[in-house]
Amino acid sequence: MSERKRFHPLAVFIYLFKGLKSWSFAVLLLVFNGELMTLFGLIALSAIVLLSLIQALWKYFSQTYQISSEKIILYRGVFRKRETDIPYERIQTIKQRQWFFFKPFGVIQLLIETAGGESTQAEASMPAVNIEVWEWIEKYRQGDQPESEIHSAGLEMQKESSSADYTVTNSQIVLFALTDLSIMATLIAVIIFISEFIPENWITTTTSMAESLLRAGWLASLSILFVSLVFVMLLSLLRTFIQYYNFQVNRTNQTLTIESGLFERKIQKIPVEKIQGLKIRQQPVRKLLGISTVELLLAGGQEAEGESGIVKKLYILPIISDHQLYETLSELLPEWNFTRPEIKFVSRKKLWYFWKWKLLFIPIAAGLAFLNYWLALAAVAVMFILLLNSWLEEQHQGYQIQTAHRICIQNIEWFSKVQTFVERQKVQSFSEQTTRWLFPKQIGHINLFIKTGDALEVIGLNFIDEIDVQKLKRFYRNKD
Q: What is the 3-state secondary structure (H, E, C) of the chain?
A: CCCCEECCCCHHHHHHHHHHHHCHHHHHHHHHCCCCCCHHHHHHHHHHHHHHHHHHHHHHHHEEEEECCCEEEEEECCCCCEEEEEEHHHEEEEEEEEECCCHHHCEEEEEEEECCCCCCCCCEEEEEEEHHHHHHHHHHHHCCCCHHHHHHHHHHHCCCCCCCCEECCHHHHHHHHHCCCHHHHHHHHHHHHHHCCCCHHHHHHHHHHHHHHHHHCHHHHHHHHHHHHHHHHHHHHHHHHHHHCCCEEEEECCEEEEEECCCEEEEEEEEHHHEEEEEEEECHHHHHHCEEEEEEEECCCCCEECCCCEECCEEEEEEEEHHHHHHHHHHHCHHHCCCCCCCEECCCCCHHHHHCCHHHHHHHHHHHHCCCHHHHHHHHHHHHHHHHHHHHHHHHCEEEECCCCEEEEEEEECCEEEEEEEEHHHEEEEEEECCCCCHHHCEEEEEEEEEECCEEEEEEEEEEEHHHHHHHHHHHCCCC
Q: How far apart are CA 452 and CA 298, in angstroms?
A: 5
User: At 174, is the pLDDT very low, low, confident or very high (cuts 50, 70, 90)?
Assistant: confident
Q: Is the pLDDT of residue 257 over 50?
A: yes
Task: Please indicate whether residue 150 or residue 252 has the higher confidence score (pLDDT).
Answer: 252
**Percentage of residues in the chain having pLDDT higher than 90:** 9
Cα→Cα distances 292→254, 257, 420, Å: 25, 20, 13
**Percentage of residues in the chain having pLDDT higher than 70:** 80
**Amino acid at the residue 146:** P
Sequence-distant (6+) residues with CB within 8 A of 163 are 250
User: At 218, is the pLDDT very low, low, confident or very high (cuts 50, 70, 90)?
Assistant: low
Q: Is the pLDDT of residue 409 over 90?
A: yes
Sequence-distant (6+) residues with CB within 8 A of 463 are 347, 350, 353, 354, 394, 438, 443, 444, 445
Sequence-distant (6+) residues with CB within 8 A of 459 are 409, 411, 420, 422, 447, 448, 450
- pLDDT for 310 equals 46
Q: What is the CA radius of gyration of the chain?
A: 27
Q: Is the pLDDT of residue 205 over 90?
A: no
pLDDT digits over 2-47, tens only?
Answer: 678 889 888 888 888 888 888 888 887 777 777 777 888 788 888 8
C-alpha angle 131/312/271, rounded to 5°? 55
Cα→Cα distances 268→11, 92, 124, 204, Å: 21, 11, 15, 49
Q: Is the pLDDT of residue 188 over 90?
A: no
Residue 293 pairs in a beta bridge with 281
Q: Is the pLDDT of residue 209 over 50?
A: yes
- pLDDT for 149 equals 42
Task: Please indicate whether residue 142 or residue 259 has the higher confidence score (pLDDT).
Answer: 259
- pLDDT for 307 equals 42
- pLDDT for 303 equals 54
- pLDDT for 147 equals 45
- pLDDT for 306 equals 46
Q: Is the pLDDT of residue 122 over 80?
A: no
Q: Is the pLDDT of residue 92 over 50?
A: yes
User: At 156, is the pLDDT very low, low, confident or very high (cuts 50, 70, 90)?
Assistant: very low
Task: Please indicate whether residue 312 or residue 303 has the higher confidence score (pLDDT).
Answer: 312
Task: Please indicate whether residue 72 or residue 37 has the higher confidence score (pLDDT).
Answer: 72
Asked if residue 30 lies in contact with residue 41, where contact means CB atoms within 8 angstroms, the answer is yes
Q: How far apart are CA 112 and CA 94, in angstroms?
A: 5
Q: Is the pLDDT of residue 230 over 70?
A: yes
User: At 77, is the pLDDT very low, low, confident or very high (cuts 50, 70, 90)?
Assistant: confident
Average pLDDT on 418-440 reads 89
From edge to edge, which strands make up the β-sheet containing 248-252? 124-130, 107-114, 91-99, 264-271, 255-260, 248-252, 166-167
pLDDT digits over 313-333, tens only?
Answer: 788 888 888 888 888 888 888
- pLDDT for 245 equals 86
- pLDDT for 319 equals 87
Which of these ranges, 102-106, 390-394, 422-426, has the smallest mean pLDDT?
102-106
- pLDDT for 259 equals 86
